Amino acid sequence: MAAGPRRDTRGIVDAPDLFARVRFRRREPAAALRPYLEHYWLIDWDLTEPYTAHVVPHPSVNLVLQRYEAEDGPRGRCGYAEVAGVEPRLFTRKLTGRGRVCGVQFRPGGFRPFAPGHAVGDLTGRRVDAADVFRTPPPVDAVLDPDDEDARVAALDACLPALEPRPDPRATLAMAAVDRVRTDRTVRRAGLLARDLGLSARSLQRLFSAYVGVGPKWVILRYRIHEALERAGSGPDVDRARLAADLGYSDQAHLVRDFTATVGVPPTAFAPR
């Protein structure tokens, strides 16, 4: 398990541009929650003109508590909570006016113990009212109201144990499988992962569908694209042929095709300006 929240910007398209416009922080959850959670993420903004953010999502379910004060209708002003399943496409959100989001990013495979009645694959590509998923919906105002971010984190730490996560050996196996993909670049085929876990290819597919929400092949590709996106913006002298080889591609053209299909533009679009 990672020690503390991630500090990389993997998945965030043009992270410097986003961070110049919003306050973005990651915070560590309480110790009892860390087996299941990656981190909390907090965003606040006060914009004079609209800004559109783009993210290549991780294979994670998120609980998102949000308030958009410029949004029409009472729902945005009052705040609401959604469970966001794994998003298979590029996520795009237009930010306007003032807003606040407090998010909980579950470890891939770590959401099911909080909602054992929901196969995670059924949530993929969907955003569902939290009250329709959890036995005890999170207290939205208690989390969103405080201006002090420590108070927001404390409110999340207090409300999540009330969801009564249940130990689940298959969730533990799914989390270990995704961690292996994320940290070991030699895992380039789902069949290799299945073999190393002592599972058949079909059993691995069922495990990922029920606990992660997407298949192992998709997860392998997504982590490749995350690394390619981060490295594409790291400097003008990126050796893209070497990058393609490092990520297990047979040639640079194959990487460019996957990258462009996922992000919408080729890696060269992210060279530092």
**What does the pLDDT average to over 144-153?**
96
Q: What is the mean pLDDT of residues 96-122?
A: 95
The two structure tokens encoding residue 240: 């893209």
Residue-level pLDDT at 1? 46
pLDDT of residue 233: 66
Q: What is the pLDDT of residue 70?
A: 54
Beta strands in 56-202 (DSSP E): 62-68, 80-84, 91-95, 98-106, 127-129
**pLDDT of 215 above 60:** yes
- Rounded Cα distance between 224 and 20, Å, is 26
End-to-end Cα, the chain, rounded Å: 35
* Per-residue pLDDT at 13 exceeds 80: yes
> Which among 2, 8, 18 has a CA at the least distance from the CA of 108?
2
Residue 265 contacts by C-beta under 8 Å, 6 or more apart in sequence?
none
The pLDDT value recorded for residue 271 is: 58
Ranges of each domain in the chain: 15-163, 169-270
Q: Compute the mean pLDDT over every residue in the chain, rounded to the nearest whole number.
A: 89
99-108, 143-152, 182-191: range with lowest mean pLDDT: 182-191
The stretch 181-190 carries a mean pLDDT of 88
Query: Is pLDDT at 220 greater than 90 in this prediction?
Result: yes
Instruction: Identify the CATH class of 169-270.
Output: mainly alpha
CB 197 within 8 A of CB 204: yes
pLDDT digits (tens, 9 = 90+) for 41-80: 999 999 999 999 999 999 999 999 999 875 554 455 578 9
Q: What is the pLDDT of residue 236?
A: 61
When pLDDT is cut at 50, 70 and 90, the band that residue 235 belongs to is low
pTM exceeds 0.85, yes or no:
yes
Cβ neighbours of residue 221 closer than 8 Å, sequence gap 6 or more: 258, 262
Distance (Å, whole) CA 271 – CA 56: 17
